[in-house]
Structure 1
Amino acid sequence: MSRVAVLGSVNMDLVAYADRAPNRGETVSGTDFRQIPGGKGANQAMAAARAGARVSFLGAVGDDAFGAQLRANLTAAGIDTTGLHTVPGVSGIAHIVVESGGGNRITVVPGANGEVTGVPEADRTLVAGADALLLQLELPMAAVLAGASLGREAGVPVYLTPAPARELPDELLANVDVLVPNQHEAAAITGHDEPGAALAALLERVPEVLLTLGEDGSLYGRRGEEPVAVAARRVKAVDTTAAGDTFCGSFAVARAEGRTPREAMEFAAAAAAISVGRHGASSSMASRDEVEALLRG
């Protein structure tokens, strides 16, 4: 069983479902509402755990009711929350509007996530003992930099999902092994809308890139090698909220287990296909048995 450490955000997702999201100044009628644990870090941790890894989560929640629920949700999934600290104030939340076609619009309020500025000494063994470290950009940059540096020092492969998209410091990318952007984030970082051009530009800055392309599948590149493309599975999407996080967490587990990039992409594509066919973020993710069954079938 592989070991995965995740340093990242954990939020309570407040999800409204509607035929379409409102325009500026407009009110629309919704069809449903759900309160679902989420956050890019927690989503990737859940995906990795359900893909079969032993997962440790590092981050922070508030001392409010959401904080207790968020911790309990991770613990119930078998995730080690030793590195999840409780701080005074509110937990992170995400306000999400999901449209009938599965698209979404998201506003994130960091809350306790904004209090994470590094990796406490007591939590460093959680990273050093891992086979992969997953990072995102919903924590302060100081925390992301500290995590990436710690991963590099420990010889642990560092995965970075550059979301929300922003300028990426060279000192961060120097410690990243695998960059995992979607097509919009890749375009924002490189200025290239065409996936192949964006991949080539990103490979000038990091050794490996896994570019997720939604319904167009995924594209992987490693310096000096031919890119690998894998098609997405054709499914009816009802909610794409955690598809990218599901893909990243599942891919990292598959690679840590020794699968080739193509095999890992196919495994992750199956996990993501199941995820988008269900409502919610962490609540939508498939178990390893479900993913393996889809791959066999």
Structure 2
Amino acid sequence: MTRAPDILCIGSALWDVIGRSPAAMRAGSDVPGRIATVPGGVALNIAMALARQGLRPALLSVVGRDIEGDALIGLCDRLGIETAHLYRSDDLPTDRYMAIEGAGGLIAAIADAHSLEAAGAHILTPLIGGPLGDAETPYEGLVALDGNLTEALLAEIAVHPAMARADLRVAPASPGKAERLLPFLRAGRGTLYVNLEEAGLLCRDSFEAAEPAALALLARGAARAIVTEGGRPCCDATVEGAVTRKPPQVLVTRVTGAGDTFMAAHLAAERAGASREDALDRALETAARYVSGDLVP
């Protein structure tokens, strides 16, 4: 019998093209630096981080039947990420993401996730029509879900009977897609992983710190909210109370993928039985090592 995956990672799986320079940049800057092409996408970033911790994640996404897609699947297989449930499209190319990072962090980014949006509910077929689950036998494990899916599909997931028993962990992917998570506020489902800006967009407000932002998300219907703010304290809020922890101070050398690394480390810690306090500490320490360059992606 095939062993069930430890966690499902649903959302974007693509290639990241990242340009990094130690120089301060503004619009129109032309500076020397390094350009790398690496596997990325929120769902895949989380899956890779979980695999590094010895877990067996399964990826539900769309990958084109092109050279880029074949290379991405080959890499996933080598890392121990289950790809049997991926939707392979003859017509849709493998998605891409492009970012520029400078001395001040992220300068600009463009996410081309059009294939994921076009594939829609096709990527969920293994979860809502078997072999991972269906309406009669809902999936009962952990699910890491990202906001690169359309709001309509996210709204369907929030109330779908095939996911009624799943432990949903949801991230918006970027501030520009934060409001796609509103269906989870309305349904009172899932744990939301957002930064301070994304929390403000979901609450239609602005906040000075993570704890009031997390509590405001609860007031708007969230079952649980985890709010981060870079090097400042983050907060995990539930009806049982708020837990706040401060991240280690490190020199930041990269930012793309930091939130996904945090989320994966937090998931792994809680799956291993860590308390809310310890899970936050482990996630913050792992994310700090990642942005400092000490953790090899």
Q: Aligning the two structures, in what range does the TM-score lie when normalised by the shorter sequence?
A: 0.7 to 0.9
**Is this contact kept in 2: 1:6–1:44, CA < 8 A?**
yes
- Specify the alignment match of 2:286 in structure 1: 271
Say whether 1:207 aligns with 2:217: no
Shift of residue 75, structure 1, vs aligned partner: 1.7
Name the CA shift for 1:27/1:171 in 2 (closer, same or farther; >3 Å). Answer: closer
> In the alignment, is the contact (CA less than 8 A) between 1:83 and 1:123 conserved in 2?
no
| Distance change in 2, residues 1:154/1:249 (3 Å) | same
Residues 140-179 of structure 1: pairs in structure 2 closer than 5 A: 140-150=150-160, 153-165=163-175, 166-168=178-180, 171-173=183-185, 174=187, 176-179=189-192
Paired position in structure 2 for 1:66 = 68
Partner SS state of residue 227, structure 1: strand
* 2:132 counterpart of 1:126: yes
What pairs up with 1:147-296 in 2 under 5 angstroms? 147-150=157-160, 153-165=163-175, 166-168=178-180, 171-173=183-185, 174=187, 176-190=189-203, 191-194=205-208, 195-204=210-219, 205-223=221-239, 225-278=240-293, 284-285=296-297
> Which residue identity is paired with 2:43?
G
* Residues 147-198 of structure 1: per-residue CA shift (max 9 Å, x gap): 4434874411111112333434654331522111011111222212223322
Matched, 1:78 2:80: yes
Question: 2 CA distance for matches of 1:98 and 1:208?
Answer: 31
Give the stretch that moved more between structures: 154-163 or 124-133.
124-133
Deviations 1:28-80 (A, max 9, x none): 12311111111111111112222332201100012222211222222221011
CA separation of 1:116 and 1:249: change in aligned 2, threshold 3 A: farther
Q: TM (normalized to structure 1)?
A: 0.85
Between the two proteins, the alignment pairs up a number of residues equal to 279
Residues 14 and 96 in structure 1, CA contact (< 8 A), matched pair in contact too: yes
Q: Deviations over 1:83-140 (max 9, x none)?
A: 2122123211111101134434211111421223125433444365563111111122
Q: Which residue of 2 aligns with 1:290?
A: none
Contact 1:93 1:111 in 2 (8 A): no
Offset at residue 2 of structure 1 (A): 8.1
Query: What 5-or-longer segments of structure 1 have no aligned partner?
Result: 286-297
Cα distance between partner residues in 2 of 1:129 and 1:17? 40
The one-letter code matched in structure 2 to 1:263 is D
Which amino acid is 1:226 matched to? G
Partner of 1:52: helix, strand, or coil? coil
What is the RMSD computed on CA atoms of the aligned residues?
2.4
Cα gap change, 1:151 to 1:17, in 2 (>3 Å): farther
Instruction: Give the conservation status (yes or no) of the 8 Å contact 2:184–2:222.
Output: no
- Kindly state the Cα deviation for residue 264 of structure 1 after the two structures are TM-superposed: 0.8
Q: Percent of counterpart pairs with the same letter? A: 23
1:38 lines up with 2:40 in the alignment: yes
Contact 1:62 1:111 in 2 (8 A): no
How far apart, in 1, do the equivalents of 2:114 and 2:281 lie?
36
TM (norm. structure 2) is 0.85
Tell me, which stretches of 5 or more residues in structure 2 are unaligned? none
- Mean CA deviation greater in 118-127 or 213-222: 118-127
Which structure has more RCO (C-alpha within 8 Å, separation ≥ 6)? Answer: 1
